[in-house]
Structure 1
């Protein structure tokens, strides 16, 4: 009798979905962020031979270009494909992203910003949903990079930039370009970003794709980026003022509803409610260990956000050139 073999047939490994990817990062005066950003890009677990990094200097006046060129030299020595581009004609992150798209060779264009810190599996997780041929846009999650200031702690505790709020937008879902991926071929169908928009371009590109094509948008909860939030009151107000400007631009382009105006009457009413109802309840929760001191002042900070957005919405005027969509 022929003895039975103890050997088993090797299990075939399922191929991992691994398209070529182009990571595009617009950078303006980013010397504060470049070292940490580069470290995060170099630590990506996605195969080096399937990914390129296109960092686009957008007319910076600090040491950004010098630092980027040095980073590119070091990356080349490590086998990391990192290329430095420049967009110096139009001061706009969307114009800079367009320059990246023009040079991209990847099937998937992945976008983030200089003040973001991608986790090591970010690209791998963000790209996986594209294995579904119906998916054209993937938004990853944005969490807070831990900070020390009141404004950073507020943003962290209340998920200020979490994509989940935008994915539930009443007009149409979208993702922020701080953590967004789009099939490169789609730009041939709908055009590139509006280069003269200064805010709101992420919603615009996502909405154009969903309105003009059959491509679908989905969410990758494990494609995580930590975002460096604003650390001062001035920066905090500027951020939400810009969001208000975005509201106005998207209203002019798509007719979406504007947020209601911030009024002294509402301010007085909300502060009275906070002082006489919310503060006593929150104090009890703090004593019971069910809240912290930040929860105690959440309402006044919420009102600061509301006022800044309302101000931005009032003063914004869509530039005539922002109606232009470029195709190449």
Structure 2
């Protein structure tokens, strides 16, 4: 192939652009961007999008999970029954008195239920399975009872408490978390009572004066530990109700035995203890259906407590702020349950997606590797014709010499076109001073990377065009390896293998893992599926005819490389991956720079997906990307990474609220799968495994940052926010291993050093 007509080098004419921003287009109106605003305005926009909204959303999510865990796990409960204490301080009239202990207003009275009156009491509910069955039996036999409910169960099943009250039963407090109050402080006792009362108020709109302490039995079991608590609770306006007949149904001795134990002797009245929660209560329900009619036939009445004692109702209607406070509590608990249930479903979905993605990557990347590494594999006739290499550069003084020298050492014939996009640090002067053969400089006013690339395409002499960033260095064999796939006339573009050069820092090592996994697994998978989503700006090659058919580099998105790749697919061209075309780039070295870079990548990817959403309706061979590629890219690059934080959220939830062991094992299982995939990717790329030592820490810290960045991108997209180019500060330390590139840091012109860089892959770490 001979050279095309050469074009003269010159300065771009036309109006100057004040920044590296891209304009909007009708195809991407909902995901738009603009040039820089004044710093104060940008700061005002950045704070809500970058910090406020993601922080509030994550805080609300964690609050809902903590509330749900608190209500469900009984994290503050104390299920241990303490040893009995002495009874020296307990009045004898209480020990000899009845099961209803009234210590209000300084009085100390024990009351008994009159003869032939039975008060059935049920503890620990309401239970969604057994409480309705108990209520059905009571309704069928026209009997009333007292339900001592816990705050946790009431908060979760408020409708059952409303039914109890509506059907004439009484409810009483049984604390919120079911602790042994004999060993709790007064502040904890007050909290248990108030929270229990709040739940009952929110559920049924009433306040109760009845209380039964957990682990209580008969009045004569009162001791010097429990008696002070009973007196204190009486001073708070509550009547303590224990029992004098225990059915011991919790032992599940059989329905007949439960009936026998619950039956009082000689026609005496009694308060009978049963349970409607805490396990399988089918024996209790069966016994109750026999017990009530049998004793009714013997002249017994089944009343609630105040009916049996002939006293005013223990339930008082609540109105005003107290009622709304209770309703708000119930609403929040119900919302937390609903949200957690939804999140659990999402977790199952994302877990399945993650495992499916890993399995697909391992399977297809292995197939790709075996195919391209066969001794007889050829793309077609060897490509030996010269290539035009375009280097868009904006304030790349610290990096440009290393970049150009690496290209000049190429083993493939190249012409090098450096497009200086209005640099203010002497970038173009540095290139011209090198006086290297085959290197040309095109100067233009600052117009943005897509404009610089299009300018370079216009000045390129050859039909095969390689594009790279001004902060990247090539190995001597990179260009040759990159253009060999063009031996296949159906290939329109080739993605190379970008690698992190500054991997010695912790952040660099994390990005190194991400880059290697992204290229060696994701790109191989997408190559086999023929739906490569991105040709990295750091190292990619194109046919000129394919670029012209796709309309050239577009300003419509911040991800011009993803945009052009999708456009090539839709034009019917094949995009492939060349694993041996390695380029070395400098990754961000600070969290701030990493945040800015990934925010732009994520947002630009969303713009490109939105712009090319019409690919879903494309037909014919060019429709393959719409049928396969666009759904996979949207799922694995945007949706799944957004849901992936659920893995870590539920890890924290499980560690705090349990089951801790199973939760940690599940998380370690996910980490093990990631480690296997990472190790396989490192093996394919012949990388040292030592960098994988930081993989667990990457999953704990680095991945969280990527989550928040993606969330911010979503918020920006959904709110129609604007995003401008962010410059990254470079150091110029990257060089190709084994290449002739020299570090000339002391000789370069000082300047911004920021690079217009692109991602090797915008797949979030999942």
Q: Which TM class, normalised by the smaller chain length?
A: 0.7 to 0.9
C-alpha distance in structure 2 between counterparts of 1:166 and 1:221, whole Å: 9
Alpha carbons 2:388, 2:461 under 8 Å: kept: yes
RMSD between superposed Cα atoms in Å: 3.2
> Quick one: distance in 1 between partners of 2:670 and 2:462?
54
Of 263, 269, 290, the residue aligned with 2:650 is 269
Deviation, structure 1 residue 113: 0.5
The superposition leaves residues 71-99 of structure 1 with CA deviations (integer Å, 9 ceiling, x where unpaired) of 3xx20xxxx21111123252x21111111
Once the two structures are superposed, what CA deviation does each residue of 1:124-160 show, in whole Å capped at 9, x if it has no partner? 1111111122221111111221433211111113326
CA, structure 1 residues 95+281, in 2 after alignment: closer, same or farther (shift >3 Å)? closer
The residue number in structure 2 matching 1:106 is 462
Please give the per-residue CA displacement for 1:298-324, whole angstroms capped at 9, x wherever unaligned: 1131111121122133224598xxxxx
Q: Per the alignment, in what secondary structure is the counterpart of residue 553 of structure 2?
A: coil
Distance 1:247 1:136, change over 3 A: closer
Distance 1:291 1:272 in 2: 30
Does structure 1 residue 63 correspond to structure 2 residue 445? no
Do the aligned partners of residues 290 and 271 (structure 1) sit closer, same or farther apart at CA in structure 2, a change above 3 Å counting? farther
Aligned residue among 696, 703, 710 for 1:302: 703
| Correspondence for 2:396 among 7, 15, 30 | 30
Q: Which has the larger radius of gyration?
A: 2
Q: Match of 1:46, SS?
A: coil
CA distance, structure 1, for counterparts of residue 546 and residue 497 of structure 2: 22
Partner SS state of residue 158, structure 1: helix
Residue 83 (structure 1) aligns with: 440
Deviation, 1:266, is: 6.6
How far is 1:195 from its partner?
A: 3.1
For residue 545 of structure 2, the aligned residue among 179, 185, 192 is: 185
Matches within 5 A, 1:312-327: 312-316=713-717, 317=720
In the alignment, structure 2 segments of 5+ residues that lack a partner are 1-380, 614-629, 656-662, 676-688, 723-766
Counterpart CA distance in 1 for 2:604 and 2:690 is 36
Shift of 1:279: 7.4
State the 1:290 CA deviation. Answer: 8.7
Identify if the C-alpha distance between structure 1 residues 172 and 271 changes in structure 2 by more than 3 Å, giving closer, same or farther: farther
Going from structure 1 to structure 2, the CA distance change for 1:132 and 1:123 (only over 3 Å counts) comes to same
SS of residue paired to 2:605? helix
Q: Do the aligned partners of 1:87 and 1:95 also contact (CA within 8 Å) in 2?
A: no
Equivalent pair of 1:44/1:121 in contact (CA under 8 Å): yes
- Name the TM-score, length of structure 2 as normaliser: 0.35
Conserved? CA contact 1:242–1:309, under 8 Å = no
Partner of 1:18: 384
Q: Secondary structure at the match of 2:577?
A: strand
Rounded to whole Å, the distance in 2 between the matches of 1:128 and 1:57 is: 28
Secondary structure of 1:35's match?
helix
Aligned equivalents of 2:654, 2:456: Cα separation in 1: 49
* 1:4 alignment partner in structure 2: none
Q: Give the alignment's TM-score, normalised by structure 1.
A: 0.77
Unaligned regions of 5+ residues in structure 1, if any? 1-14, 320-328
**8 Å Cα contact 1:115/1:228 also seen in 2:** yes
Residue deviations 1:260-299, cap 9 Å, x none?
A: 65798776335567994557998xx9xxx99865123111
Give the 3-state SS of the residue equivalent to 2:580 in structure 1: strand
Alpha-carbon spacing, 1:291–1:31, altered in 2? closer, same or farther (3 Å) = closer
How far is the alpha carbon of 1:181 from its aligned partner?
Answer: 0.6
1:206 correspondence with 2:565: yes
The residue aligned with 1:259 is: 639
